[in-house]
Structure 1
Amino acid sequence: MATTFIIPTGLPGPSGGSRYNKALIRALEAAGCSVSVCGVPGPWPRPEARDLERLRAALAGREQVVVDGLIASSAPDEIQAAAASGTRVHVLFHLSLLVDGAVPPDGSGRAAALERRALQSAHTVICTSNWAARDVVNRYGPLPTRVVSPGTDQAPLAVGSAPPQLLLLASVTPRKNQLAILRALAALTELDWQALLVGPDAADPDYAQRVRLFAEAAFPPGRVQVLGSRTGPGLERIWSASDLLLLVSRAETFGMVVTEAVARGIPAIVGAGTGAEEALALGPHAPPGIAVAPDDTAALEEVLRGWLSDPAQRAAWRRSAEGARGMLPTWDDSADLMLRILTP
């Protein structure tokens, strides 16, 4: 059965969701699946009338579609109409709009109603982690959920740096919580370390500016570098020089950067109670890192101080990360799970 992925285009990024989509589509094509991609521009998840018209055109006459949740969650009428016409509609649900910060508080009730209707109309709600599947069912009740977790590409072992390089690799937003990490690091300036903040900063310019100003005020020049987006060889050089990933998000579906770090032998500190814990625990032995309550600055400071001060702990986390490399799921594994959903 021919399958069309309907994905948003023209949004700030790259994001974990957009990278997931591309990698999964590439793996499905490599597995011989008949896949096409239809990009729908617009300010998703706040579409205008012309954006919804483009979506209706993209859905029309399709046999089977996988609609990115950023689109589907704000277009329940279009999802319902496509399903009623006989199209097999799957929603690829990365994260609820209410968690992602994409909806202002005064619009949360309406957004939840739209998202619920869209998901209830889908043949399948494909979640990108077990955490995401639990979260959406807790919000909206029983749904036809299936889980297709991200895969991981093989990568060379990181070399690391002296002093240790801490990597914050995420979009600069309140949900990703970079300020909490910087506040913890501000109490550790007597120790040797350097930090890089890497990721797009256009989603919340005010927050990004607060992060930059705090970094400039709290640390000597060059100690904390805010670099913006990096891709390709430039990002690979950053990975190779890194010793610890910091992803202490307030909410996280999975945290692909966690498994990408582990694939390079880099341990991670992640946000407790988020999907990033799931990513960190994929290995068979001790997790290569630890989860910390996202807004407990004192706890984060304590964990970072221990890691920075104790060579034995750094070595143990590194061994755990190296030992988990061969146990990480691949994108071929993800494609196999998706094919089971797409095949009637």
Structure 2
Amino acid sequence: MAGDLASPTPAHGGPATAYVVLPNDIDDPATPSGGNGYDRRLCRGLSAAGWTIREHVVPGDWPRPDRAARAALAGVLAALPDGAPVLLDGLVASPVPEVLTPHARRLRLVVVVHLPLEHDDEGAALAAAVAVVATSEWTRRRLLDRYALPPGRVHVARPGVDPAPPAPGSPAGGNLLCVAAVVPHKGHDVLVEALAAVAGLPWSCVCVGPLTRDRGFVAGLRRQLTGHGLADRVRLVGPCTGAALDAEYAAADLLVLASRRETYGMVVTEALARGVPVLATAAGGLPEALGRAPDGTAPGLLVPPDDPAALAGALRRWLAEPDLRRFLRRAARGRRRTLDDWTVAATVAGAVLAGAVAA
């Protein structure tokens, strides 16, 4: 990005204002998500960079809005001044091109895509925007492959991460942590099958994440745990934030993520910020989040998604090979030093907004 585009000051010299459209659960502690956390930190970073941020929280079950939710969004957009830069969360924008398109010439619409919905409505909605912000290079490639978007209008602003003290780690490495909403695409059922295959080794697993988004899946997972005799070794503790989540990371030896799909995986960099190695699938943007230490070594292990045998094999290696644990911990602490904070993402987003206004 050119440096002059990052300035939020418009040509007339007054303060720049950006309007941000967010889903209604943005600050709900019962349903924390990477997307909501990203939006909140982006707003904070833009404000720190000099933008005046006007938030509009839209009611509705996004990305499955009913007629009332669509009308509420239409009302928000209609009330905004001509030429205003508007940053919209993709969960709100992508399913409703018919709401966005009437304002496409009047407003400077910028859509943040956390997780592509991958249907025709999304393509039409993104076509109505002057720019798109993707949260990973993998997401950008996915959008460009699927939709006829000009490449120069799709930008990448990867999530940042806050510095954190390194986790001490235990000698045996048996404290496993999974941080993810308990829903099918996060692969908890695959993780349980893998854990059952290494039940003879010493480990315990804490699963942090909302339990209310798919109650049927959670009920089935509990039955699966009971059937394998793992109900006392795998704890589903629900959502954790703040100090409680920090404590879970501090106690962890290994972050385990069995996702079937993932655009980036903020929990990966949150673990690496503490020097905690990662065992994850190679789904979507997870390899991008894992990255490499300065010496080129990977700070974790990647396995194919939906492959409990491969996941079990990697778990067995981690638990049974002290040399591997030492190697991966050293790599994770090296990767820890290379992670970007949130100012980088906010700088990119600010440049995109300023460019949208200039255009």
- Place the TM-score, normalised by the shorter chain, in its bin: over 0.9
Structure 2 unaligned segments of length 5 or more: list them. 1-15
Matched, 1:118 2:125: yes
Partner of 2:138: 131
CA contact (8 A) 1:7 1:37 kept: yes
Partner of 2:342: 331
**Aligned partner letter, 1:93:** V
**Aligned partner letter, 2:19:** T
CA RMSD of aligned residues (A): 1.5
CA contact (8 A) 1:10 1:42 kept: no
CA contact (8 A) 1:243 1:267 kept: yes
- Secondary structure at the aligned position of 2:276 is classed as coil
Q: Equivalent of 1:170, from 168, 180, 188?
A: 180
Partner of 1:149: 158
In structure 2, how many angstroms separate the alpha carbons of the residues matched to 1:113 and 1:334? 28
Identity %: 39
In structure 1, how many angstroms separate the alpha carbons of the residues matched to 2:48 and 2:209? 29
Matched, 1:269 2:269: no
CA contact (8 A) 1:249 1:274 kept: no
Q: Equivalent of 1:6, from 21, 46, 50?
A: 21
- Secondary structure at the aligned position of 1:50 is classed as helix
Partner of 1:108: none
Partner of 1:71: 92
Q: CA deviation at 1:254?
A: 0.4
Matched, 1:52 2:31: no
Structure 1 unaligned segments of length 5 or more: list them. 99-111
Q: Which runs of 4+ in 1 moved over 2 A?
A: 141-144, 159-163, 219-222, 282-285
Change (3 A) 1:72 1:314: same
> What is the total number of aligned residue pairs between the two structures?
330
Change (3 A) 1:122 1:283: farther
Q: CA deviation at 1:162?
A: 6.1
**Aligned partner letter, 1:150:** P
**Higher relative contact order, chain-length normalized (CA < 8 Å, sep 6+):** 2
- Secondary structure at the aligned position of 2:246 is classed as helix
Partner of 1:109: none
Q: Equivalent of 2:112, from 89, 92, 97?
A: 92
- Secondary structure at the aligned position of 1:97 is classed as coil
Residues 252-284 of structure 1, C-alpha deviations (whole Å, 9 max, x = no match):
110000000000000111221420110001543
Q: Which deviates further from its counterpart, 120-129 or 228-237?
A: 228-237
**Aligned partner letter, 2:52:** S
**TM-score (normalised: structure 2):** 0.88
**Aligned partner letter, 2:348:** L
Q: Which deviates further from its counterpart, 214-223 or 333-342?
A: 214-223
CA contact (8 A) 1:282 1:328 kept: no
Partner of 2:41: 23
Partner of 1:340: 351
Partner of 1:288: 299
In structure 1, how many angstroms separate the alpha carbons of the residues matched to 2:322 and 2:170? 14
- Secondary structure at the aligned position of 2:186 is classed as coil
Residues 224-248 of structure 1, C-alpha deviations (whole Å, 9 max, x = no match):
1111111122111111100111112
